[in-house]
């Protein structure tokens, strides 16, 4: 378990400092898609700070905004893409990006993680990462989000 956490930490650190290329995105994807001939991409966001929405861009084109404790589902052409998440539409810091070559008729899952850490003299620093997750983790998040919606 420690090795997995260390691996995710490394991926998150790389994603915060520039595009991180996922070498084999199909390894954590599943066969099937909601959009025939395309790839389906889910981006999940937990309840951590900040409260403002984040913008999700694919190849420099704004595709969605994502609030806390929710997700977006995108249809994406089967090719190499740069995914960027940022608190400002222009792609300002702190942002995170990954590069992934996607296949048609597959579903991919990503998690947007934000973390606010207090540094010296009451100043804070926000870290943002975008990591690929597996289907079982995605299904757990989907269940949690749908349960919250049903309670409202």
**Residue 96: both structure tokens together:** 């995170």
The answer for 72, left when phi > 0, alpha when psi is -120 to 50, beta otherwise, is beta
Domain boundaries, the chain: 2-151
Please tell me the pTM assigned to this model: 0.80
**What is the rounded CA–CA span in Å between residue 103 and residue 106?**
6
Residue 50 is given by DSSP the state P
Q: Which residues pair with 88 in a beta bridge?
A: none
C-alpha distance from residue 119 to each of 19, 51, 94, 99 (Å): 25, 20, 16, 30
Helix (H) or strand (E) holding 61: strand 61-66
**Residue 60: both structure tokens together:** 């420099």
Confidence grade of residue 63 (pLDDT, cut at 50, 70, 90): very high
Q: Is the pLDDT of residue 86 over 80?
A: yes
Classify strands 20-21 and 96-101 as parallel, antiparallel or unpaired.
parallel
Mean pLDDT across the chain: 82
Q: What is the pLDDT of residues 14-50, one digit of tens each?
A: 444 568 899 999 999 999 999 999 999 999 998 776 7
Q: Which residues pair with 107 in a beta bridge?
A: 30, 40
């Amino acid at each position: 378990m420690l090795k997995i956490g260390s691996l995710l930490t490394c991926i998150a650190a790389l994603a915060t400092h520039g595009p991180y290329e996922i070498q084999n995105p199909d390894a954590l994807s599943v066969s099937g898609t909601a959009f025939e001939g395309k790839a389906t991409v889910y981006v999940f966001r937990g309840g951590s700070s900040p409260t403002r929405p984040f913008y999700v861009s694919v190849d420099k084109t704004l595709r969605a905004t994502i609030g806390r404790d929710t997700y977006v589902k995108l249809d994406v052409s089967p090719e190499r893409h740069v995914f960027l998440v940022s608190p400002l539409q222009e792609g300002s810091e702190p942002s995170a990006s990954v590069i992934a070559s996607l296949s048609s008729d597959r579903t991919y899952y990503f998690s947007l993680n934000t973390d606010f850490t207090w540094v010296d003299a009451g100043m804070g620093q926000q870290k943002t990462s975008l990591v690929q997750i597996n289907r079982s983790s995605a299904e757990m998040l989907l269940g949690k989000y749908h349960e919250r919606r049903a309670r409202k």
